[in-house]
Amino acid sequence: MERAVVQIALFGLLVASANTLADKDDWDIYSFHINSTVSSRYATTIITSRVANRMNDPKEIEFHVRIPKNAFISKFRMLIDGQFYDGVVKGKERAEQQYAEAVSLGQSAGIVSSVGRTMEEFKTSVTLAAHKKVTFELTYEELLKRRLGKYELQIHARPMQPVKDFKVDVYINEKAGINFMEVKGGLSTKALANAITRTHVDKQAWVYFYPTEDQQKTCDSCGEQGMNGDLVIVYDVNRNPSLGDIKKSDGYFVHHFAPLNLVSIPKNVVFVIDQSGSMHGKKIQQTRIALIHILSDLLEEDHFGLITFDSAVFHWKRELVQATRENLESAKKFAREIVQRGATDISKAVLEGAHMLNAHPRAGSASLLILLTDGDPTSGETNPEVIQSNVRRAIADKFPLYCLGFGFDVNLKFLEKMSLQNNGVARRIYEDSDADLQLTGFYNEVATPLLTDVTMIYNGGANLTQTNFTQFYNGSEIVVAGQITDNDIATFTPQVVAISRNRRVTFSDTNAAVDPEGPASDGSVQRVWAYLTVKQLLEKELVLSGPEKENAKKEALELSLKYNFVTPFTSMVVTKPQGENTDVLHKPGEGKKQARNQWGHHHRRKFSPPSRALTPLFGMSGFRSSPDIPQVESLSRDAYVGSGRRGMSEGSGITAIDSLHQAQDFMVHQDLLDYGRINIRPTIVSPRATDAPLSHRFLQKAENLSLPLCFDVTGKVQLKLVHHPNGELFVNGQLDSVANGGFRNITILLKTDLRVEITADVIVLVEGQRMSVLAGDHPITVGSLTVIRRDKEIDVAVGDTRMLILIHKENGKEFLWPILRQRPLDDDISGILALKPVVYEEVQQSPSTRLTIKGQDYDAARASAVDYSINRSPTHDCWLMSVESALQRSLDDFIVT
C-alpha cells in the first residue's frame, strides 16, 4: 500500500483548546483501554482507542488524549485494514523540513498542548473509509517522583463519549515491597467507587477501573460526552535504614535512595515575597494565608527571615532570628499587613535574601532561599542574564534557591534557569482557589532537610546520572542510574556519603546484593537511565552557554533518537494512508502559549448515518425436539467456530464458520453470528475432561494486608458465582477436570429470557428462541447486558454489575477464571465471587497455626496458590483451611444442583 508521509512534532502551549467531540451518528469509540505498568517507579502507559466509522462515506476520526507533562511519548501507531502506520522519532529540524514541504500543499497541523497543571494534550486524526475501523495506540513513559512520602501515577480518562468497552488496568511491581497503596482523583468518587478494584500482595499491586456505560454519564465529572477526570494511584515502597533499593539489568543499574530513621536538620530559611502591584486581589490574599501557615510550621530550632519587595526591599528584621513563639507572632503580623504596590525589583530582593543567609551561617544546619513572584523584573536590574549571574555569584553553591512563579504572566524560564543554576527548582503556582495550598504544599516538600552535601559513589560504574545533591529532604528520594563497567556485579560497589547535622555519615551495605532483573529483562532499567539522562541534559542545556550548551543539546538529541523519546529536540513522523493531511506536533515548553493550528486547519465533513439492518445469508433445516426454551449448555468448535480470537477480520468482525448443525435462519449482524430459532437442547462436550476428581484452589482476600486464605474445592461441581436477585442476574460456573485448571464454562442468566453460555472457544447468546454466537471484538449489547470479547478475556456488564472472565492456558489446555470487577450498588449479592475480604487473627503458631475468625479458632497451614484473577497468574502464599472454615458456611450453599 502506498503511503503519504505525515509528521507529528510536539510544540506549543494551549491553556485551553476546543474539543471536537464524537458525534455518535458519525463515528463510535467502541473500545478505550489504558494499561499502565510500573516497575521500580518507572511507568509505561499504553492508551488504545478503537473507533468505527458508522457512515456510508469517509469520515475524519480524531484521537485526543491527555498525558502527564513529565512523560515522554515513545510510540504511536495506527491500525487500519490490517496495516500498521508507525511513528518514527526524528530530529526536530529534519522533521520540520519534511513538514514544510507538505504544508506548502495546504495541509493541516495537529497539536500537543499543555493543559492545566500536570497534563499535556495529544491530538491527531485520520480519514477513515465508510464502515471501517481504526485502532490508535499511544505509549508514554515517565519516572514517578517521590513527594511527601509517596509516588503518584496520574491517569486521565477522557474518551469523549461513553464507551461500552472502557477499562483501566494498572500493575505495580516493586522489588522493595509496597508499603501502602490507595486510589484518589475525581474518578474515585462515590458514584464510581464500586467500579474500582484494588489488589495488593507484598511486592505487587493491581488496580482495575471498569465503569459501565451508564456510570460514565452520571459520575461527578461525567456527562453525555462521557468521563473527564483523573484516576490517581498513590503508593510508597518499603524502606531500609541504609543504602536503599538497587536494581540491575543488562549492564545498567538504577539506585533509589531514601533511608529511614534520619534525624532532621535545623534549617535557616529566608522568604522573599513579591508585593508589587500585579499581586493585587486574590494573589496577595492567598500569599498571606500560605505564609502565615508556613510560619506556624517552623520549629523552634529553625531560624528564618522575611523580605517583601516591589521597587524597594522591605525587611521584617534585617537578620535571621530564631523561630520562637514571640518572633513567629511578630512575623505573622507583618505578613497580614503585606499590601501590593509599585514595580518589581527581583534582583535586589534575591541578593538581599542571599546576603542574610551568608551573614548568619550556623554549623549543623541547612539553608534555603525561597522566592515568590508573579512577574518579570521591571525595576532596578532588569536584564535576566545579569540577574542570574549576580545571584549565582552571591549564593556560590552554598544553599539552594527555590523559585515559585505565580500565574502565567511570570517568566518561568527565567526562574527555572536561575533555580537550576543554584541547585534548586522552579514551580508554577496556578491562580486557582487552592493557590495557598499549592504554596504550602511546595514548602512542605523542603521543610525537613535530613542530609546535606550528598555524594553518590559507584565503584565499577560509568556514564552516571547526577551524583551530587545539595540537600536531601524528608519524603523525597534521590535516584541515580548508570552503567556497570563490563557488566561485572562483583566489582560494582555503591556507597553514599553525606553530612547529617555536624557529622559525616556513610551509607553502605556490604551484605546487600544488587537485585538482578533476570534473563527475561524488558530493558526498563536501561530506559530509566536514558530517561534520567535526557531530563538532566535538558536542564543543563537551559543553564549552560556556548560549546557546552551545544554539546548537551547534541547528547540529548542522540539519546532521544536512540530511545524513541519525543522531547523538545525531537519530533515524531507518522505515516498515514496516501492522501492524508499532515500533522505537526511539538512537545510544549512550560509557560508558552500557542495559537491554535497556526499552519493550517482540518477540513471536516458531515454525513447522514447509514441504516443498520440484518443481512440474511442462508437458511437451514433444524432438528425438532422439546418446545421448551433452549438450554444451550454446550457448543463444540466442530459445530461452530465462534472465537473472537481466531480468523477475525479487522473490517467486518465476522469469523469463519466451518459447518453449521442444528441451526435455522442464519443471519449476520456486525459481530453476531445469528442462528435464528432453535428447538434443540445441545450438550456441552469438554474435549479435555478426565474422570479423575481434581481439586481447584481458591484464594480469599484478607483485610489489612494479611496473607489471604485459600481452600480447595474437589470435583467437577457447578458453583454459584454471583447471584443478584434484585438485578435478576444469576451467574454459575462449571469446574473442569484438568490439573491446575479452572472453569470449563460459565452461564449467565437474566430473568428477561436472556442466557449467555461462555467457554474458552465460544460465546453463545440465547434470547428467547433465538441463538447467536459472538464472533469479533465489537461490544454486543442486548438490553442491560453488554458482552465484549478480547484476546484473552471476556468482559460482561449487566446494569451496574461488571465481571471479567480471563482465559488462561496450562499445559496446552485453556480454561476460564471469573472475577467480579464491580459489585452492584445495592450490594445484595451472594456467591463465591461476592465474598468480602475476611478478617482473622493468628492466635497460635506452634506446633500448628490456628486462626481466629468471628471468635472461632480454626486450623490452618502455610501453603501457596496461583492467583488466576490476574493475567500474569502470580503465586501467593496463603493460609490453607478447610472450605467450610474459610467460607464460614457449608460448600453446599455455593453449589448449583
Instruction: Give the three-state DSSP class for 794.
Output: strand
CA distance 552 to 707: 50
Tell me: the pLDDT tens digits for 229-278?
A: 889 999 999 988 788 889 998 899 999 999 988 999 999 999 999 999 99
CA-to-CA dists, residue 212 to 72, 115, 122, 168, 588, angstroms: 31, 27, 25, 12, 34
pLDDT of residue 521: 57
Q: Report which residue type is found at 846.
A: S
Q: State the average pLDDT over residues 607-631.
A: 29
Q: State the average pLDDT over residues 670-696.
A: 45
Beta carbons within 8 Å of 556's beta carbon, 6+ residues apart: 534, 537, 538, 541, 567, 569
Least confidently predicted of 230-244, 720-734, 770-784: 770-784
Q: State the average pLDDT over residues 346-350.
A: 96
Q: Would you say 745 and 631 are in contact if contact means Cβ atoms under 8 Å apart?
A: no
Tell me which DSSP letter residue 523 carries: S
C-alpha atoms less than 13 angstroms from C-alpha of 103 in its C-beta half-sphere: 18
Residue 45: φ, ψ to 5°: -120, 135
Answer yes or no: is pLDDT of 590 > 70.
no
Grid coordinates belonging to 645: 480470537
pLDDT of residue 250: 87
Beta carbons within 8 Å of 620's beta carbon, 6+ residues apart: 660, 663, 664, 666
Highest mean pLDDT among 469-483, 603-617, 719-733, 842-856: 469-483
Residue 526: φ, ψ to 5°: -65, -40
Q: Is the backbone peptide bond immediately before 847 cis, with ω within 30 degrees of 0?
A: yes
Buried b / exposed e over 29-40, threshold 16 CB at 10 Å, is bbbbbbbbbbbb
Beta carbons within 8 Å of 872's beta carbon, 6+ residues apart: 171
pLDDT band at 223 (very low <50, low <70, confident <90, very high): confident
pLDDT of residue 725: 87
CA distance 639 to 657: 8
Tell me: the pLDDT tens digits for 495-525?
A: 999 999 889 999 987 544 456 655 445 688 9
CA distance 181 to 165: 26
Answer yes or no: is pLDDT of 217 > 70.
yes
pLDDT of residue 517: 53
pLDDT of residue 782: 84
Tell me: the pLDDT tens digits for 132-187?
A: 899 999 999 999 999 999 999 999 988 888 998 899 999 999 989 999 999 998 88
CA distance 372 to 44: 35
Q: Is 808 exposed, middle or buried (0-12, 13-18, 19+ CB in 10 A)?
A: buried
Q: Would you say 77 and 137 are in contact if contact means Cβ atoms under 8 Å apart?
A: yes
Max Cα–Cα distance, the chain, nearest Å: 101
Answer yes or no: is pLDDT of 596 > 50.
no
> For residues 567 and 2, which has the higher predicted lDDT (pLDDT)?
567
Highest mean pLDDT among 15-19, 187-191, 760-764: 760-764
Dihedral sign for Cα atoms in the order 461, 462, 464, 468 = positive
Pick from 213, 353, 237, 361: nearest CA to 802: 213
Q: What percent of the chain has pLDDT over 70?
A: 79
Answer yes or no: is pLDDT of 129 > 80.
yes
Q: Would you say 204 and 196 are in contact if contact means Cβ atoms under 8 Å apart?
A: no
Q: State the average pLDDT over residues 453-482.
A: 96
Measured from the Cβ of residue 379, the count of other Cβ atoms closer than 10 Å reads 17
- Any idea what the Cα angle at residue 418 is, between residues 412 and 420, rounded to 5°? 100
Answer yes or no: is pLDDT of 97 > 80.
no
Pick from 293, 616, 552, 625: nearest CA to 443: 293
Instruction: Give the three-state DSSP class for 53.
Output: strand
pLDDT band at 459 (very low <50, low <70, confident <90, very high): very high
Q: Would you say 73 and 140 are in contact if contact means Cβ atoms under 8 Å apart?
A: yes
